[in-house]
Chain A
Amino acid sequence: MSQSLDRQKAKPHLAEEWVGKIYTFLCILFLITTIFSIVYFVASKGLSTFIVNHVNVIDLLTGLKWLPDGEPALFGALPFIFGSFSTSILAACLAAPLGFCAAVFMVEISPKFGRKYLQPVIELLAGIPSVVYGFVGLSVIVPFFRDVFPGQGIGIAAGALVLSIMILPTITTIATDALAALPKGLKEGSYALGSTRWQTIYRIVLPTTLPALMTGIVLGIARAFGEALAVQMVIGNAPHIPRSLFESASTLTSAITLSMGNTAMGSLANNALWSLALILMLMTFVFVFIVRFLEGRSKL
């Protein structure tokens, strides 16, 4: 034992440390490479419509007619963009109040019952596959709308309703976390002044948790915006801006889902679909940045 500690024995652990470091680093590198290649490939394909096929960007974004087989072929994506925004924002408008109420119920009114029943229900709603939502939408909501409202039942209203149930878990979970994280003293102060629970909620709780609630809503919109199959099944897929909520319409995702398999790789019609995918992806990034911004606000 007279040598220094460094030289006592062969050190397999040093090799082991390196194996661990390198292995985990490669894993994270795989992740980073993946996201960059997704951005690169979708962008290069999506941009080729403008660069190779010389379609005007403004025409694509504002054009009202999508006629890939037409003479001349027209690529106006506004109906799809409109469809995506209207369904997802409408879905958020439906789901946000419900999610907020559910969160208030779980945190303020009956935490015990909430945790035991409502929480698992919300988690199950999140776990149900989107094709199942689409199927139920198609076989329940669409016929119901057809009977009650003028039109075929398909359309933005049916899409938004299906989406609202799908994004309810996202909004509820974030709202619940925000409400539960509220300092106790804040509410107690209000109760001490003789306020009722509802007064406390809308005067104190709602304003303080607003940024976090907004985060949940934006995340919900983002999820609705990117959802493909459930919407595609109930929206009707007509490529124009509908005149009512109960008339066939399309979204970015539904257009991609329907036509991507039917167009030849590299053709103009195919490239135009990739441009739609690019718009979808860029919107996702916008949503992520809005969420980041809101999260920064809610930490203050």
Chain B
Amino acid sequence: MKAKTADKIATSIIMAVAALIVLVLAGLLGYILFRGVGHISFHFLTSAPESIRKGGGIGPQLFNSIFLLVLTMIITIPIGLGAGIYMSEYAPMNRITNFIRLIVEVLSSVPSIIVGLFGLLVLVNLFGFGFSLFSGALALTVFNLPLMVRITEQGLKGVPREQKEASLALGLSKWKTITSVMLPIALPVVLTGTILAAGRVFGEAAALLFTAGMSSPRLDFTNWNPLSPFSPLNPFRPAETLAVHIWKINSEGLAPDAGQIAAGASAVLVITVLVFNFGARWLGRYMHRKFTAIK
């Protein structure tokens, strides 16, 4: 009965590992939330950080993160959708297409720090955008595009062939067929993927160190003129995001409550990612139900 004993031992080990993984996540989330949530307050979320004194907040960083996310998605979505549509519907089956596929794969595995360095060289210096939200958004676009392309392609490949043919047979152009018949069907997949990608953008820091910068000007939240250098809406100002802020205070924070601030900011970041994750999951299910519903 040796084989049976080995089987039992192996099964228990595997189950223990599965439990361990769940525990690791639970511990991770529990630790961050336990340490961080107590520090989150309205004051913490809205006030400016302090460099040496206690009691600094993360207001500008939070605003920067959200603004940068919006800017990035505005640039990423149209390009990513277009490129994904090309790969799924227009690309001929030949060597060039295979090569493009390889390129997309390579781009998706380029480390984000390299994307950041490229941004520093080309966007910040060569194009002269400086350390700015705009440079950051473009760098994040580069970082996010391969994912967006893959999501779109996946969504479109999942559309039943009969749907596409039905539209073409009515005498609709291919472009109209893609935009009015295929994309709506692919929408649940595309939207879910996009939200997850947005979560990734929100937490990204390495690509931003040298593009959006590690500092924020003293923002004047009453100034909504996008051309003013102190306006929060100016896309050409430097902007330290939440994730970059966490990194910075951990490596060079001088405020006496740096630890708490990092914990609070991490908690905010993790809660946002959780919201994105569950939101995507819920929306995907909801749309799936709505589109395939019998009633």
A198 touches B79 (CB 8 A): no
Closest to A234 in B: B250
Indicate if the CB atoms of B32 and A136 lie closer than 8 Å.
Answer: yes
Are the CB atoms of B118 and A228 closer together than 8 Å? no
Which residues of the partner chain A approach B270 to less than 8 Å between Cβ atoms? 128-129, 132
The verdict on B266 contacting chain A, using a C-beta distance below 8 Å, is: yes
User: Which residues on the B side are within 8 Å of A201 (C-beta)?
Assistant: 10
Residue-wise, chain A 199-214 has the 8 Å CB interface mask toward B (1 for contact) of 1010000000000000
Contacts of B22 in A (CB 8 A): 117-118, 121
A38 touches B114 (CB 8 A): yes
Asked if A19 is at the interface of the complex by the 8 Å CB criterion, the answer is yes
Q: Judging by beta carbons under 8 Å apart, are B15 and A229 in contact? A: no
Max chain B Cβ within 10 angstroms of own Cβ: one of A127, A130, A232? A127
Is A199 in contact with B113, judged by CB distance below 8 angstroms?
A: no
CB distance from B209 to the nearest CB of A (A): 7
Q: Is B247 an interface residue (CB 8 A)?
A: yes
Instruction: Give the interface segment out of A75-83, A149-157, A182-190, A256-264.
Output: A256-264
A287 at the interface (CB under 8 A from B): yes
Interface-facing stretch out of B82-90, B157-165, B224-232: B82-90
Q: In the assembly, what is the distance between CA of A147 and CA of B21, in Å?
A: 24
Q: Decide if the interface of chain A is mainly helix, strand, loop or mixed.
A: helix
Chain A, residues 1-40, CB within 8 Å of chain B (1/0): the string is: 0000000000001101101110111111011101101100
Contact B20 A98 (CB under 8 A): yes
Known: A42-B117, A131-B247, A199-B7. A284 touches B14 (CB 8 A): no
Is A17 a contact of B173 with CB atoms below 8 Å?
yes
- CB-CB under 8 A from A175, the residues of chain B are none
Of the listed stretches A50-58, A62-70, A101-109, chain B binds A101-109
Contact between chains at B106 and A109 (CB < 8 Å): no
Evaluate contact between A134 and B250: CB separation under 8 angstroms: yes
Chain B residues within 8 Å of A, Cβ to Cβ: 3-4, 6-7, 9-11, 13-15, 17-18, 20-22, 24-25, 28-29, 31-32, 35, 78-83, 85-87, 89-91, 100, 102-107, 109-115, 117-118, 120-122, 125, 142, 145-146, 149, 172-176, 178-179, 196, 199-200, 202-206, 209-210, 214, 243-244, 246-247, 250-251, 259, 262-263, 266, 269-270, 273-274, 276-277, 281
Could you jot down 22 A-B contacts, CB within 8 Å? A23-B82, A28-B91, A31-B79, A38-B110, A102-B18, A121-B22, A125-B21, A132-B266, A132-B270, A165-B24, A197-B10, A198-B3, A198-B6, A198-B7, A199-B3, A222-B109, A223-B109, A226-B112, A229-B247, A233-B250, A284-B110, A292-B102
